Amino acid sequence: MHVHILGIGGTFMGGVAAIARAAGWRVTGSDRDLYPPMSTQLEALGIEVVAGFGAEQLALAPDVVVVGNVMTRGMPVVEALLESGRPYVSGPEWLAREVLRDRWVLAVAGTHGKTTTSSLLAWILEHAGLAPGFLIGGVPANFAVSARLGSAPFFVIEADEYDTAFFDKRAKFVHYRPRTAVLNNLEFDHADIYADVGAIQRQFHHLVRIVPGGGRIVWNAADARLEETLAMGCWTPLEGFARAPHPRALWSARAAPGAEDYSRFEVLEAGRAVGTVDWQLIGAHNVENALAAIAAARHAGVPVPRAIEALGAFRGIARRMQLRGEVRGIRVYDDFAHHPTAIATTLDGLRRQAGAAARIVAVLEPRSHTMRMGVHRDTLAPSLAAADEVWLYTPADLGWDAGAVVAAFGSRGHAAADVDALARKLALSLRAGDHVLIMSNGGFGGLHEKLLAELRANPG
């Protein structure tokens, strides 16, 4: 059987491609822009990728076309597909039908932390010898791939609330029918799809409605919007977590002495210490992710001590506070943060690790649809406040005037409309000991390597 995937370069669709290949399908695909880690993953799998969305690619005569949610009416291949009568399906529906139907699905949902929590959960199950399948919106270092078919019964999936396809406007996660569901948090995002946070809550409640009574919902008990969502109706046992003790949380944590960055922390079950995590990650937000993963893994049968042991061997995720290089004592990090809450928590974690005296330089590409619409313009500057210097990428097509955000930082704020110019100017401003945090949910025009190259070329 031959499946052709439109929009194969996204993390989700690229993961579907990897799983289809492992399941024995012939896989081809197409996309406009490909960049690591998905470009390298598809290349390693030997999957043929057609450039662009021309109608001629249907001459490959696939048995079914899987349509990514980047595809819209008016694209030549979409119009030709509809005219042809050839079978087509969305990525989530194909996955549910061909892979998840007979699996114990552990789905991780939330505005923030999905990729990290999914990666932690998959690794805990792997460490316990359960060989799970998974599809994650990033590449965990312990696996070096974003997706795999795995062995029955367990399958971990990053459960995105973004819409499914141009012909199916429900959230992706309603297709997955999880037995174990993690609800990390809920904030307004995806302003191109949802009118307000209430619309997102309704989608989350659709997910709550399909978790069976014999399943489990692991939820952030300190999140008021999740509490409101569950109050709409819940038919599944709940298990709460929160970074600090909370009346509705079974799981909580406290930083170990001398580890204010949470590189070591105690896991508390009903207020009682049950073990200490000593790991490579930092930040209070990652403590929440770890607690959620521990709870979900226990529902799948993994004892807590085994889960804590696994977290100690977790080696991080590509593009999640990933150190891309160090030149002349200047450390350059890559992070996926693109929502003000995620930006603030990422900076907090780095500050806790680097110390109060270190200079942190934040560089942000406002690339998501919500960012480009200017929805977060009033909360963006406060989210960057922990940085000592702020550089904002402001291309001509940004869609709103970012001048007020830059001005909020006075002499510490900078803007650049060109990536190459940004790399040059930024390199000249840096000094030994700086921590440069580059944040984007895309490739940022290769800024990371361009900056490192500028630093190497100019020894200072």
Domain holding 17: CATH number? 3.40.50.720
| Residue 302 sits in the same domain as residue 403 | no
Q: Which residues contact 319 (CB under 8 A, 6 or more apart)?
A: 37, 138, 139, 334, 335, 336
- Would you say residue 96 lies in a domain? no
Q: Residue 6 is encoded by which pair of tokens?
A: 């439109």
| Residue 135 sits in the same domain as residue 86 | no
Residue 441's pLDDT is 83
| Residue 347 sits in the same domain as residue 376 | yes
DSSP SS3 for 176: coil
| 411 half-sphere exposure, CB direction, 13 A CA radius | 1
Residue 460's pLDDT is 62
Q: Is the separation of the CB atoms in 423 and 324 below 8 Å?
A: no
Q: Is the separation of the CB atoms in 168 and 147 below 8 Å?
A: no
| Residue 223 sits in the same domain as residue 369 | no
- Would you say residue 182 lies in a domain? yes
| Residue 35 sits in the same domain as residue 109 | no
Q: Is the separation of the CB atoms in 332 and 437 below 8 Å?
A: no
Residue 337's pLDDT is 80
| Residue 38 sits in the same domain as residue 180 | no
Phi, psi for 67 (deg, rounded to 5): -105, 120
Residue 375's pLDDT is 77
- Would you say residue 232 lies in a domain? yes
Report the number of distinct structural domains present in the chain: 3
Beta strands in 336-399 (DSSP E): 360-364, 389-393
- Would you say residue 13 lies in a domain? yes
Domain end call among 287, 312, 337: 312
| Residue 383 sits in the same domain as residue 412 | yes
Domain end call among 312, 346, 364: 312
Domain extent at residue 400:
322-457
| Residue 143 sits in the same domain as residue 38 | no
Domain end call among 312, 334, 369: 312
- Would you say residue 87 lies in a domain? yes
Determine if residue 444 is left, alpha or beta; phi over 0 gives left, psi from -120 to 50 gives alpha, anything else beta.
left
Instruction: Give the separation between CA 14 and CA 146, rounded to whole angstroms.
Output: 8
Instruction: Give the separation between CA 347 and CA 60, rounded to whole angstroms.
Output: 47
Q: Is the separation of the CB atoms in 2 and 62 below 8 Å?
A: yes
Q: Which residue type sits at 157?
A: I
| Residue 134 sits in the same domain as residue 272 | yes
b or e along 136-156 (b: 16 or more beta carbons within 10 Å of the residue's beta carbon)?
A: bbbbbebbebbbbbbeeebbb
Phi, psi for 36 (deg, rounded to 5): -60, 150
Q: pTM (2 decimals)? A: 0.87
| Residue 292 sits in the same domain as residue 375 | no
| Residue 400 sits in the same domain as residue 307 | no
Q: What share of the chain is helix, strand, coil (3-state, %, to 5)?
A: 35, 25, 40
- Would you say residue 61 lies in a domain? yes
CATH of the domain at 206: 3.40.1190.10
Beta strands in 210-261 (DSSP E): 216-220, 238-241, 251-255
- Would you say residue 75 lies in a domain? yes
Beta strands in 145-298 (DSSP E): 147-148, 154-158, 163-165, 168-171, 180-183, 216-220, 238-241, 251-255, 264-269, 272-278
Residue with the two structure tokens 């890559």: 334
Residue with the two structure tokens 């002349």: 328
Beta-strand pair 147-148/133-135: antiparallel
Closest C-alpha among 138, 66, 161 to residue 337: 138
Q: What is the pLDDT along the chain (460 residues), one digit of tens a residue?
A: 999 999 999 889 999 999 999 999 999 999 997 777 778 889 889 999 999 999 999 999 999 999 999 999 999 999 999 999 999 999 999 999 999 999 999 999 999 899 999 999 999 999 999 999 999 988 899 998 899 999 999 999 999 999 999 999 999 999 999 999 999 999 988 777 888 999 999 999 999 999 999 999 999 999 999 999 999 999 999 999 999 999 999 999 999 999 999 999 999 999 999 999 999 999 999 999 999 999 999 999 999 999 999 999 999 887 788 899 999 999 999 988 878 888 998 898 899 888 889 999 999 999 887 787 777 888 898 999 999 999 999 998 888 888 888 899 999 999 999 999 999 999 999 999 999 999 998 888 899 999 999 999 877 6
Q: Which residues contact 357 (CB under 8 A, 6 or more apart)?
A: none
Beta-strand pair 163-165/168-171: antiparallel
Residue with the two structure tokens 């040059």: 424
Q: Which residues contact 185 (CB under 8 A, 6 or more apart)?
A: 110, 111, 112, 113, 220, 223, 225, 226, 341
Question: Alpha helices of 373-435 — where are they, by DSSP H?
Answer: 377-383, 403-407, 419-429
Beta bridge pairs of residue 437: 333, 362
- Would you say residue 342 lies in a domain? yes
| Residue 275 sits in the same domain as residue 171 | yes
CATH of the domain at 426: 3.90.190.20
